[in-house]
């Protein structure tokens, strides 16, 4: 079990004696030395893109801290009050207690506005950094075995982060968030069979009722954070068990991790980075206002301001609603089928389902059951990268469509033109992005191959004795070359009959998926090719 730290022969200073005694006290009660031994010198590889997940984690901590402060003052109630705070333009106006307490936090509590803005900016950063972190993991193939489950947990965290964002910005019960809830209500009502009742139960009666803010509040400050914290815990635990991926580099292999140890290098960098993230959020929050609810005023079902925008991460869903062509609603069997709502819900559902299950799909296609710890350079998996680019384009078009009215007014275009362009882009954009990306990847792979074999063009032109001009190619060092030649290469699946001599449908499906993925491939340079190219050059 526990081991008592052995005493050195040398005399110790008072500080050392105290540290030793304290460590001993704790270890004899917790056996913590085992944990320290296990993780204290764990190695973390270094790359700027590995910080994106850290930004997400740290902004979440900032959200917890600032949010806790806000709960001490916020009143999650829709009871009608007359505002009597110090913001003159709204004095005497009827509003909910939620809105009034939000105004009090902003205008009557020192640092209250700062904390509200820290909370909101940190939330925006939280969702953004999770999104970028997911893109990094996707494009480098870091979701492959053994990390498929951790990808899925990360995906769940992304959805939860958006849910936190939406429940959070609905709380002040201002005009903008009220209209957001109105849209949610309308969407829910459009769901076949259960929609009307779900909306009725959610709002505790007819929209907007007097319950929704307190209900969202309990989700926002208790249920969702609890699930997020648990999911982050599992996410981190699996990270420690799987160890971090690393990019290919000299000396780095699939069975080692190269980087700095937790104690002290990584801890100092990561700990310091937490303070930097917190500091930058505070700097933004103290200089840029966000969600000025006092400008919007309290919720009223009748007015709405032009150019209403949801927070950016909800944009893709709002855009999907906007891009539905006219007339997608019908009555069958005496019921109303709102395809203008069902279609976006189904399409978005499919989209996020593909995101959630992509690692399992790719694993099925490659049939590769080995562990992968070397992160791919995106170009070395051209089809995956192209699919990613198509997905990003699809998301980006939906997202841009959520600002269709602002695009139209800012660039002096007709709203119809903007919507029709977005509709066309939604279908053709991903296809175009797919093909361009795939070609660019293959082109880059060819270039890598060329450079690995023949070196790079030095720009030095030499005239040979017999009059020929050549450009001298500088060879790479073996360290530089390693990055270009070490990647996993796949070829399409060959269909073979099974034991009964039959070719199953699943086999055919997998073969065609495999052909789609790996038909165009550039093989990595082999040692023999390098030897040959050396002979050619000399």
* Binding residue count for another protein, defined by CB under 8 A: 138
User: What is the phi/psi pair of residue 375, to 5°?
Assistant: -70, 135
Task: Select the residue interacting with another protein from 92, 327, 467, 501 (CB under 8 A).
Answer: 327
Which CB, 140 or 246, lies closer to another protein? 246
* Residue 111, burial from CB neighbour count under 10 angstroms (0-12, 13-18, 19+): exposed
Which CB, 49 or 254, lies closer to another protein? 254
**Subset of 492-521 contacting another protein (CB under 8 A):** 492-493, 514, 518
CB of 166 to another protein, least distance (A): 15
How many Å apart are CA 41 and CA 34, to the nearest integer? 12
β-strands 469-474, 456-463: how paired? antiparallel
Under the binding rule (CB under 8 A), the answer on residue 302 touching another protein is: yes
Under the binding rule (CB under 8 A), the answer on residue 255 touching another protein is: yes
CB of 297 to another protein, least distance (A): 11
How many Å apart are CA 235 and CA 156, to the nearest integer? 10
Under the binding rule (CB under 8 A), the answer on residue 280 touching another protein is: yes
Structure tokens at 67: 């949010």
CB of 486 to another protein, least distance (A): 7
Under the binding rule (CB under 8 A), the answer on residue 274 touching another protein is: yes
Which CB, 5 or 271, lies closer to another protein? 271
Under the binding rule (CB under 8 A), the answer on residue 301 touching another protein is: yes
Task: Report whether 329 contacts 187 (CB < 8 A).
Answer: no
Distance of CA 324 to the CA centre of its chain: 26
Q: Is 364 helix (H, G, I), strand (E, B) or coil?
A: helix
In sequence order, the β-bridge partners of residue 95 are 81
**Subset of 422-481 contacting another protein (CB under 8 A):** 478-479, 481
CA neighbor of 134 nearest in space, from 49, 241, 211 = 49
Residues 6+ apart with CB under 8 A from 478: 250
Task: Select the residue interacting with another protein from 128, 392, 530, 533 (CB under 8 A).
Answer: 530
Cα radius of gyration (the chain): 29
Residues 6+ apart with CB under 8 A from 393: 425, 429, 430, 432, 433
Structure tokens at 221: 């400050």
Q: Quickly tell me which residue has 């937490």 as its tokens.
A: 274
**Subset of 337-356 contacting another protein (CB under 8 A):** 338, 340-341
x/- map, 62-101, another protein, by CB under 8 A: ------------------------xxx-------------
Under the binding rule (CB under 8 A), the answer on residue 148 touching another protein is: no
Which CB, 320 or 433, lies closer to another protein? 320
Of 155-163, 184-192, 376-384, 391-399, which segment contacts another protein by CB under 8 A? 184-192
Task: Select the residue interacting with another protein from 11, 15, 92, 251 (CB under 8 A).
Answer: 251
**Subset of 185-244 contacting another protein (CB under 8 A):** 185-187, 189-197, 199-209, 211, 241-243
Sign of CA dihedral 130, 133, 138, 144: negative
Under the binding rule (CB under 8 A), the answer on residue 358 touching another protein is: no
CB of 62 to another protein, least distance (A): 10
Structure tokens at 353: 């389902």
**Subset of 28-47 contacting another protein (CB under 8 A):** 41-43, 46
How many Å apart are CA 384 and CA 23, to the nearest integer? 49
């Amino acid at each position: 079990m526990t081991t008592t730290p052995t005493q050195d022969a040398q005399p110790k200073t008072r500080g050392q004696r105290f540290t030793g005694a304290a460590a001993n006290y704790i270890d004899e009660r917790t056996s913590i030395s085992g944990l320290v031994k296990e993780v204290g010198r764990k190695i973390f590889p270094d790359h700027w893109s590995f910080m994106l997940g850290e930004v997400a984690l740290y902004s979440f901590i900032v959200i917890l801290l600032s949010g806790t402060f806000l709960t001490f003052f916020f009143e999650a109630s829709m009871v009608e009050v007359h505002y009597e705070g110090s913001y003159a333009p709204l004095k005497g106006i009827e509003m909910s207690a939620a809105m009034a307490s939000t105004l009090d936090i902003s205008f009557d509590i020192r640092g209250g506005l700062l904390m509200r803005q820290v909370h909101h900016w940190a939330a925006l950063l939280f969702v953004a950094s999770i999104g970028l972190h997911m893109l990094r993991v996707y494009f480098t193939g870091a979701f492959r075995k053994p990390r498929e489950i951790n990808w899925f947990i990360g995906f769940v965290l992304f959805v939860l982060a958006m849910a936190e964002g939406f429940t959070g910005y609905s709380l002040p019960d201002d005009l903008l968030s009220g209209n957001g809830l109105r849209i949610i209500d309308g969407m829910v009502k459009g769901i076949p069979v259960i929609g009307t009742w779900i909306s009725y139960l959610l709002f505790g009666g007819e929209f907007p009722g007097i319950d929704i803010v307190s209900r969202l509040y309990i989700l926002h400050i208790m249920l969702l954070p609890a699930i997020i914290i648990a999911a982050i815990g599992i996410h981190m635990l699996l990270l420690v068990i799987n160890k971090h991926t690393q990019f290919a580099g000299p000396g780095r292999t699939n069975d080692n991790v190269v980087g700095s140890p937790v104690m002290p290098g990584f801890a100092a960098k990561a700990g310091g980075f937490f303070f930097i993230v917190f500091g930058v959020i505070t700097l933004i929050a103290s200089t840029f206002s966000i969600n000025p609810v006092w400008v919007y005023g309290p919720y009223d079902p009748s007015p709405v301001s032009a150019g209403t925008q949801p927070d950016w991460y909800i944009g893709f869903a709002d855009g999907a609603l906007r891009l539905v062509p006219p007339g997608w609603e019908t009555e069958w069997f005496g019921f109303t089928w709102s395809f203008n709502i069902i279609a976006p819900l189904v399409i978005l559902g499919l989209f996020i389902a593909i995101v959630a299950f992509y690692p399992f799909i790719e694993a099925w296609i490659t049939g590769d059951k080995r562990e992968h710890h070397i992160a791919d350079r995106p170009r070395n998996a051209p089809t995956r990268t192209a699919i990613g680019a198509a997905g990003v384009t699809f998301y980006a078009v939906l997202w841009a469509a959520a600002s269709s009215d602002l695009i139209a007014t800012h660039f002096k275009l007709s709203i119809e033109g903007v919507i029709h362009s977005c509709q066309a882009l939604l279908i053709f954009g991903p296809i175009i992005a797919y093909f361009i990306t795939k070609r660019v990847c293959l082109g880059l792979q060819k270039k890598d191959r060329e450079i690995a074999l023949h070196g790079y063009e030095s720009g030095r032109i030499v005239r040979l004795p017999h009059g020929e001009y050549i450009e001298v190619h500088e060879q790479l060092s073996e360290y530089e070359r390693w990055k270009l030649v070490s990647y996993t290469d796949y070829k399409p699946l060959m269909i073979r009959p099974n034991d009964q001599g039959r070719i199953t449908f699943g086999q055919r499906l997998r073969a065609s998926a495999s052909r789609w993925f790996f038909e165009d491939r550039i093989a990595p340079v082999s040692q023999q090719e390098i030897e040959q190219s050396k002979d050619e050059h000399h």
